[in-house]
Chains A and B, each alone.
Chain A
Amino acid sequence: MVSFKKPNLDSFQERIHIATLFITVCFLLLITRLVWLQLISHGKYSLLAESNRIALVPAPANRGLIIDRNGIVIGRNYSALTLDINAEEAKDNIDKLINELSEIIDISPRDRRNFKRSLEDSRNMGTIPLRSMLNEAETARFMANRYRFPGVEIRARNFREYPYNELASHLVGYIGRVSQRDKERMQAEIENSKADDLDALQTSFLPGIQYVGKIGLEQSYESILRGVPGYDQVEITAGGKPVRTLSSSPSSPGKNIVLSVDVKLQYLVEELYGNFRGAFVAIEPETGDVLAFVSKPNFNPNDFVEGIDSVTWKELNDSPQKPLYNRPLKGIYPPGSTYKPFMALAALENKKRTPSQTISDPGYFDFGNHTFRDDKKGGHGIVDMQKSIVESCDTYYYMLARDMGVNMMHDFMKPLGFGQITGIDLQGESKGVLPSTDWKKTAFKKPEQQKWYEGETISLGIGQGYNSFTILQLAHAMANLANNGIVMKPHLVKAIEDPFTRNRILTTPKESYRIDLNPENIEIIKKAMIEVNISGTSAAAFRGAGYIAGGKTGTAQVFSLNSKDYKHGATAEFLRDHALYIAFAPADKPTIVIAMVVENAGFGAQYAAPIARKALDYYIEGKWPKEVPEWKRAP
């Protein structure tokens, strides 16, 4: 037999030793790896395994109702069947899937567009509705073909509905599908909040939220209306197949919000505006309750809930009428002559005028080398304070402005709320401009523009010049005056209602502050405003009223007419004057104040005051004008 060759065996055994060493090193490498995975990174991988295993199936919470002060529901939910597609499932050949579905269910191009947008927004989160409000035939057809469409299912969903369509659209707002941006924002909110159980919030809260208020009260009261979504903790397989439910946390519905708004009044005013653009705000002075908050034209918030289609969107967005613009909240207008009562009060409080002190009005006022004209050719003659308001004498206020100076006016008007954020419970309020020398320094860049010129003071007296305020501010100032200087923050929501117990918690803020005004002075101004409606500019509009109302008309120039005579109708529509009007009633104890503008309508007395009269007739006496269709409850 073969005998060993000693050197050869030695070399072989040497190599076996080396192999053993090599193997030992390799196994130690494996053990190191396993120690790293199973001891050092154990926590991380346990978490990953858990999140693999457990899916949170959200149970959306019922959104709270929006109810007006008299119990009329203007934002509600209804349940309907929808065809849902699992986002994960839909990723790849979505077009093919939808084409196949469209053979048995009617799917419009709009549905497709909306679905695709939601899909992009959602980034594979949960299921996405393709078609809502399936009828019985469609439901049956789908159920029969269900096996062909894994990942597609029919579900009952709650939808938001605004039963009165356009009514109060700017104040109610609308909800829409949560976008990625909303998600990120809510995530940030949660992270910033000092919640006790942050993890629970993050994991349980977000997945269940599918809709979020985008504008209006739906937006500003989002956290109250939304409620807390529930969820089931479900163990799932890698394929997403549920195995068993581990735990379940029920959703709790959102709370109802009860508006201070009277939607019948709101409806009436919206109808009275007809095709005119404008803004109308009515406030209960004693409480700050906003009774009507009109922006015309308006839009149908129902169009937005499931994602607006591009045609409607383009129409709304490109319209020169700007129906999406919240005019009372954001639109800024010169107050025109409606500013005069406040100016008169400023004169009394600052002792620049007495009520009986008169001026002689030749119909114009020269300052420097500029002539400021009065509306009335030839002038108003001898004018005292009451006459200056009743007849709306410009010259009186040119002189008054000169005598007071810009800063004295500013300091008096500021606490009344002019050029200040009122703090109403809507987002995006405009501040407007209440001019002062300090304001001008910050508002302009060039040094020569920063200087205040005395000539600029004069037109401020009649509510022109740099003055520009929102109608909400004007109404707020009117309410503060009517309420004798007690300032109440204006608000649209009066109470939060528990959906089960119907218990209401008032959210009405207490008075913000008091302006120290002499009651006698207030009486003088109110008396003059009452006279405006009796023998003044709005006397025609208020003839035969069953109550006493104080008011003041205004006509605000959209642009300077260079002293040329104003001819209604000859000017392009968008360059025509805005008609303004403010009012309070009943005179002895006002329960309502109004500020309004009818854009490009012309004289305030002619176009604004009649609308106010009808609104007051309804609100105070319950009289419904013949030309407006009766209010009908939503089905």
Chain B
Amino acid sequence: MEKSPVKRIQMLLFSFFAGLDRQLGFILLGLSAVGFFTFLSASQNTPVQIADELRNLALSFAVMWLASRIPPKWLEISAAWIYGLGIVLLVAVAVFGLIKKGARRWLNIGVVIQPSEIMKIAMPLMLAWYFQKREGIQKVWDYAVAMIILAIPVFLIARQPDLGTALLVFAAGLYVIILAGLPWKWILPFVAVGAIGIFLIIIFGGTICAHDIAWPFVHNYQKHRICTLLDPSSDPLGKGFHTIQSMIAIGSGGFFGKGWFQGTQAHLEFIPEKHTDFVFAVFSEEFGLLGNLVLIALFFALIKRGLTISASAPNLFTRLLGAAVTLIFFTYAFVNIGMVSGLLPVVGVPLPFISYGGTALVTLGFGAGILMSIHRHRRLVQS
């Protein structure tokens, strides 16, 4: 029987979207819409083009669609190779890398790439693969090896120096290790030490931030960042300026916000990086607490959905990978909002699907695609 053209297109669309997780899809559409509208306001009077943002969004969804088609098995097979490639590139960066603003982070292989970005996905892939391999026979030794697998790229990235990315890669790997079953008795002491450390820094911030005191293992500018976080007013025109101005933007937004395109802090250039890392300040100023609650609800829904997918994933590899990817989303969102609202030090972390920037959107789209792929393949494998 001859099918009508309408029916054909319907079927084509159906097969195109088949397997895309509908919930995840709508959440991501919602976030992208928020991102796009905020971008319109934030990019006013800047040379950044709307077309670029639309292209990036389209690219992100295309990558997501492609990734959702990749069977998890393929990822499992290639995990070690991707990790290995990442390490090779990081070593290459350390040797031949380009230096910009005092940091050696980039590699010119025809196009300029930043290998540490690859590690954000390669790290959980590798560790998930590793724990899948060792499934059922885990010993203390396995966790030690996992820590070494984690430590090598983190070390390489940290000495570029790029502390922000190093921490994110470390977090991504650590999620896998913890979810893989790292005993609580090993986790809790670290949590305790961390908590006490933070507490001490807050109490003794004034003393250790004194000008002539150098911190071990930490660059001076990094120390400065943390100290500025503790007391932004200590450097109101320098490093603290960003934090103070974004806090002013958020605070002056109030409950309902100043309205779309009405943010004075944003439009009078008081907010730094206003369409990239600090875009949350623009959103917050114009849409207020109400907008923020909606945005945080969207992120929470995204993460909840990711974790649900992971929990019902067919094997340890997909479970660990899915959960780690989801927690990376969480980390990005939490660290970004935390830093823009003056709760965490300023590290270069974009707000997922909201911040302008091709690389981040593509990476995050790829992560979302992996989650969808895991969801798509759950019954296929189980049955």
Q: Is B319 an interface residue (CB 8 A)?
A: yes
**B interface footprint on A7-24 (CB within 8 Å = 1, 0 otherwise):** 010011101100110011
Contact between A27 and B284 (Cβ–Cβ < 8 Å)?
A: no
Q: Is B360 an interface residue (CB 8 A)?
A: no
Tally chain B residues at the interface, Cβ within 8 Å.
48
Which residues on the A side are within 8 Å of B293 (C-beta)? 31
Q: How far is the CA of A19 from the CA of B334 in the complex (A)?
A: 14
Q: Is A41 an interface residue (CB 8 A)?
A: yes
Contact between A37 and B303 (Cβ–Cβ < 8 Å)?
A: no
A8/B316 contact (C-beta < 8 A), A49-B249, A52-B268 known = yes
Q: How far is the CA of A53 from the CA of B268 in the complex (A)?
A: 7
Given A12, A15, A16, A46, which contacts B251 in the complex, CB threshold below 8 Å?
A: A46
B283-329 interface (Cβ within 8 A of A): 284, 288-289, 292-293, 296, 299-300, 303-304, 307, 310-311, 314-316, 319, 323, 327
Q: How far is the CA of A33 from the CA of B292 in the complex (A)?
A: 11
Contact between A45 and B252 (Cβ–Cβ < 8 Å)?
A: yes
Contact between B181 and A5 (Cβ–Cβ < 8 Å)?
A: no
Q: Is B52 an interface residue (CB 8 A)?
A: no
Contact between B251 and A27 (Cβ–Cβ < 8 Å)?
A: no
Q: Is B98 an interface residue (CB 8 A)?
A: no
Given B181, B252, B268, B330, which contacts A23 in the complex, CB threshold below 8 Å?
A: B330
Contact between A45 and B264 (Cβ–Cβ < 8 Å)?
A: no
Tally chain A residues at the interface, Cβ within 8 Å.
39
Contact between A29 and B315 (Cβ–Cβ < 8 Å)?
A: no
Given A15, A33, A34, A243, which contacts B179 in the complex, CB threshold below 8 Å?
A: A15
Q: Is the interface of A mostly helix, strand, loop or mixed?
A: helix
Partner-binding segment picked from B1-9, B151-159, B210-218, B335-343: B335-343
Which residues on the B side are within 8 Å of A26 (C-beta)? 330, 334
Q: How far is the CA of A278 from the CA of B303 in the complex (A)?
A: 91
Q: Is A360 an interface residue (CB 8 A)?
A: no
Q: How far is the CA of A519 from the CA of B334 in the complex (A)?
A: 96
Residue of A with least CB distance to B251: A45
Contact between B289 and A34 (Cβ–Cβ < 8 Å)?
A: yes
B142-193 interface (Cβ within 8 A of A): 175, 178-179, 181
**B interface footprint on A453-486 (CB within 8 Å = 1, 0 otherwise):** 0000000000000000000000000000000000
Residue of B with least CB distance to A47: B252
Which residues on the A side are within 8 Å of B181 (C-beta)? 8, 11-12, 15
Q: Is A310 an interface residue (CB 8 A)?
A: no
Given B300, B316, B341, which contacts A33 in the complex, CB threshold below 8 Å?
A: B341
Q: How far is the CA of A13 from the CA of B311 in the complex (A)?
A: 6
Given B136, B178, B270, which contacts A8 in the complex, CB threshold below 8 Å?
A: B136
A57 vs chain B, min Cβ distance (A): 16
Q: How far is the CA of A37 from the CA of B292 in the complex (A)?
A: 12
A44/B251 contact (C-beta < 8 A), A34-B284, A238-B245 known = yes
Contact between B251 and A38 (Cβ–Cβ < 8 Å)?
A: yes
Contact between A16 and B245 (Cβ–Cβ < 8 Å)?
A: no
Given B255, B296, B311, which contacts A31 in the complex, CB threshold below 8 Å?
A: B296
**B interface footprint on A235-251 (CB within 8 Å = 1, 0 otherwise):** 11111000100000000
Contact between A38 and B255 (Cβ–Cβ < 8 Å)?
A: yes
Contact between B255 and A39 (Cβ–Cβ < 8 Å)?
A: yes
B256 vs chain A, min Cβ distance (A): 10
Contact between B307 and A19 (Cβ–Cβ < 8 Å)?
A: yes
Given B252, B296, B307, B316, which contacts A30 in the complex, CB threshold below 8 Å?
A: B296
B246-291 interface (Cβ within 8 A of A): 247-255, 264-265, 268-270, 284, 288-289
Q: Is B235 an interface residue (CB 8 A)?
A: no
Q: How far is the CA of A24 from the CA of B251 in the complex (A)?
A: 23
Q: Is A201 an interface residue (CB 8 A)?
A: no
Q: How far is the CA of A593 from the CA of B270 in the complex (A)?
A: 68
Which residues on the A side are within 8 Å of B265 (C-beta)? 49, 52-53
A37/B341 contact (C-beta < 8 A), A42-B251, A49-B264 known = yes
Q: Is B381 an interface residue (CB 8 A)?
A: yes
Contact between A45 and B268 (Cβ–Cβ < 8 Å)?
A: no
Q: How far is the CA of A48 from the CA of B253 in the complex (A)?
A: 12
Given A8, A11, A33, A42, which contacts B343 in the complex, CB threshold below 8 Å?
A: A33
Total CB contacts across the A-B interface at under 8 A: 124
Q: How far is the CA of A49 from the CA of B268 in the complex (A)?
A: 10
A30/B268 contact (C-beta < 8 A), A39-B255, A42-B252 known = no
Q: Is A2 an interface residue (CB 8 A)?
A: yes
Q: Is A620 an interface residue (CB 8 A)?
A: no
A34/B178 contact (C-beta < 8 A), A13-B311, A23-B330, A42-B254 known = no
Contact between B268 and A16 (Cβ–Cβ < 8 Å)?
A: no
Given A15, A23, A44, A45, which contacts B300 in the complex, CB threshold below 8 Å?
A: A23
Q: Is A1 an interface residue (CB 8 A)?
A: yes
Residue of A with least CB distance to B343: A33
Given B253, B296, B381, which contacts A38 in the complex, CB threshold below 8 Å?
A: B253
A475-534 interface (Cβ within 8 A of B): none
Q: Is A35 an interface residue (CB 8 A)?
A: yes
B331-363 interface (Cβ within 8 A of A): 334, 337-338, 341-343
**B interface footprint on A308-326 (CB within 8 Å = 1, 0 otherwise):** 0000000000000000000
Q: How far is the CA of A540 from the CA of B321 in the complex (A)?
A: 119
A33 vs chain B, min Cβ distance (A): 5
Residue of A with least CB distance to B297: A27
Contact between A12 and B254 (Cβ–Cβ < 8 Å)?
A: no
A157 vs chain B, min Cβ distance (A): 29
Contact between B270 and A12 (Cβ–Cβ < 8 Å)?
A: no
A428 vs chain B, min Cβ distance (A): 41
Q: How far is the CA of A12 from the CA of B254 in the complex (A)?
A: 41
A191-249 interface (Cβ within 8 A of B): 235-239, 243
A313 vs chain B, min Cβ distance (A): 35
Residue of B with least CB distance to A15: B179
Which residues on the A side are within 8 Å of B264 (C-beta)? 49, 52-53, 235
Q: How far is the CA of A236 from the CA of B270 in the complex (A)?
A: 10
Contact between A16 and B135 (Cβ–Cβ < 8 Å)?
A: no
Contact between A38 and B311 (Cβ–Cβ < 8 Å)?
A: no
A41/B251 contact (C-beta < 8 A), A34-B289, A238-B268 known = yes
Contact between A5 and B310 (Cβ–Cβ < 8 Å)?
A: no
Which residues on the A side are within 8 Å of B175 (C-beta)? 19
Given B247, B296, B381, which contacts A27 in the complex, CB threshold below 8 Å?
A: B296
Q: How far is the CA of A39 from the CA of B251 in the complex (A)?
A: 7
**Which 4 pairs show the lowest CB-CB distances between chains A and B?**
A45-B251, A49-B252, A37-B251, A38-B289
Q: A52-B248, A239-B269 are in contact. List 14 more A-B contacts (CB 8 A).
A: A12-B319, A20-B307, A30-B334, A33-B342, A37-B341, A38-B284, A38-B289, A48-B248, A49-B248, A49-B264, A52-B245, A235-B268, A238-B245, A238-B269
Q: Name 17 interchain pairs, CB-CB below 8 A, sorted by A.
A: A2-B315, A12-B181, A12-B311, A12-B319, A13-B311, A15-B178, A20-B304, A20-B307, A27-B296, A31-B292, A31-B296, A38-B289, A45-B248, A46-B251, A52-B268, A53-B265, A235-B268
